[in-house]
Every structure is written in C-alpha cells, then in structure tokens.
Amino acid sequence: MQRSGIALFRSVAVGVALLGLAGVAGAQQKFVNILTGGQSGVYYPLGVALGQIYGKALPDAKTSVQSTKASVENLNLLQAGRGELAFTLGDALSDAWKGNEDAGFKAPLNKLRTVAGIYPNYIQIVANADSGIKTLADLKGKRISVGAPRSGTELNARHILKAAGLSYSDFAKVEYLPFGESVELMKNRQLDVTLQSAGLGVASIRDLATSIKVTVVTIPADVVAKIGDPAYQPAPIPANTYTGQTEAVPTVAIKNFLVSHTGVPDDTVYAMTKALFTNLDQMVAAHAAAKGIIAAEASKAPPAPLHPGAERYYREAGLLK
C-alpha cells in the first residue's frame, strides 16, 4: 500500500509537471493574424510579405494573413481581439477612434493603437472610354461600383461624390463590389465606371486598362477642398501608371496605417515595427506602393494613439523625441 501510494504520488507529480510545461509552452506561443483586404488590392500582397517577414523576425509566433473587406471590418475585428495587426485608411481609423456610426462604428474603438503610417492610397476613378465619361459631372446617370459595403473605399466614395455635388441616387446603378469583381463587370460592359481607393499601380486597374480602353477621371483640387477633412490631400496619379494613361491625372490621396490593439504585448509590437522598417525592400518587392513607406514619417499625426511597442522602436531609432 505504501509503495502504491508513493507510485501514485510520483505519477500525479509528473502529470502536474507536464501540465505546467504545457502551460508555459502555451503561454510562449504568440499569434499574429494580419488583416488585409481583397486579394486584387494592395493590402493583401503587402500583408503576405509582412507575414513572411514576421515568420523570421518572430520565430515563436504563428503568423497568418487574412483577406477581408478592408478598413472598417479590420478595425472592428481588432477591437474584438480577432487580429493582431491590420491595414486601414487614415480616415476610417479616425472615424473608428471617434465612434462614427455612419462610417460603421457603433461606439469608439478605444482599444486601437497605431503602429505606423505607411503609403498613401489614391482615389482612382476609372471609366470605360466608350462611356463618354471625362469629368465628375459626367458620372451622373452612369453605372458605378463604389467598393465593398462600408469598406474604406466606399467611405471615400461617399465623401468624394458629395463634394462633387453627387449622391448615389444620381446614378443609373450602384454596385458595392470588391475591386476584382468591379473590373470583371466593366470588362463585360455591365458597369461604366469603378471607384477604387488603393496604392498606385493596383493590380485590378492594371488588369482593366490592359483589357479595355479606359479614362482616369480627374478629381480637381477644389473638390478635394470641399471634403473638409485634412486626411484628404490633392495628389497626382503619374503619367503611364496604367496602360493608355499618358498624362498625370489630379486626384486625392489618403494615408494608410498599420494598426494593432492594447491586447498585443509591447515586445511583440516592437518586434513587428522594427521588422517592417528593416525589411522594406521585401515590401517593395511585393508591391511598388510600398515605396511610399517612409520611416521618418511613420509616427507622425496618428489618428489613434501610438502603441507603446511601436513608440519604443521610433524612440530607439531616433524618429520620435
């Protein structure tokens, strides 16, 4: 009986020790889910590149990349703890921090924390050349896609069209579709125009411009000024960005951000921020839009507070005083 008791005690002790080790191992396991956008946009290829970078920089982390409806969905997922890093447009991040219900945020998303300001998105309004659309006024009565519902692109569309004196009721048809699907409908002559908020050279518009003759519609500076939001700045789409676009086209640019939340440890965000800026060549290789990521600008004027982990990196790098 005594030996049986000792044996039982040893067995229980070993079991407890193994459970303890399992608990430690579980505590050490980190998850980094990167929330991006549609696969035909810019967020997704850059997210895949980040996933590869973090796979080496964070060897104890399990990294995944998730395709989403982009900005608004990403920010709501972060607030719910269903992701560790996300891409978003700056105006959507500002709306999320304030809790703008019209933009898709029922309450302020107070867990959000900024990691980095990255490259600018350009509002790119591209029409089938056969539609006769050359100006914003010509859009009236046409068939348009404004991006996925409540996406950053769709929020941009509302602001731009309102500033131009247009509303959705002015169109013959309004579709709420991701970039790739919008392009397919345009190729099939089921849409006249697509509005896409993305980095320059986005794959969807490159595909469209090589399939049909297109017109890139100008957004004049006076229309940009009427939006009344400093996040929206006049900027040109350089000549020859797309096939057949031989001249620079005035439009509007909005800065993108990488965002995390308060539940992600400071050390993890520090490592993610450092890995981003020490591997920018890999980001540029994934998409040329990443050429617009500038370390010296990354911590300036964040719409939501900086994550302490990101702030630590910027201070160590001499980019923030």
Per-residue pLDDT tens over the stretch 32-78: 999 999 898 999 999 999 999 999 999 999 999 999 999 999 999 99
Q: How far apart are CA 68 and CA 276, in angstroms?
A: 21
Query: Does this chain's domain 28-119+256-316 share its CATH topology with 121-254?
Result: yes
Residue ranges of the domains in the chain? 28-119+256-316, 121-254
Predicted TM-score (pTM) of the model is 0.83
Which numeric CATH code is attached to 28-119+256-316?
Answer: 3.40.190.10
Which numeric CATH code is attached to 121-254?
Answer: 3.40.190.10
312, 270 contact by CB (below 8 A): yes
Per-residue pLDDT tens over the stretch 129-180: 999 999 999 999 999 999 988 788 999 999 999 999 999 999 999 999 999 9
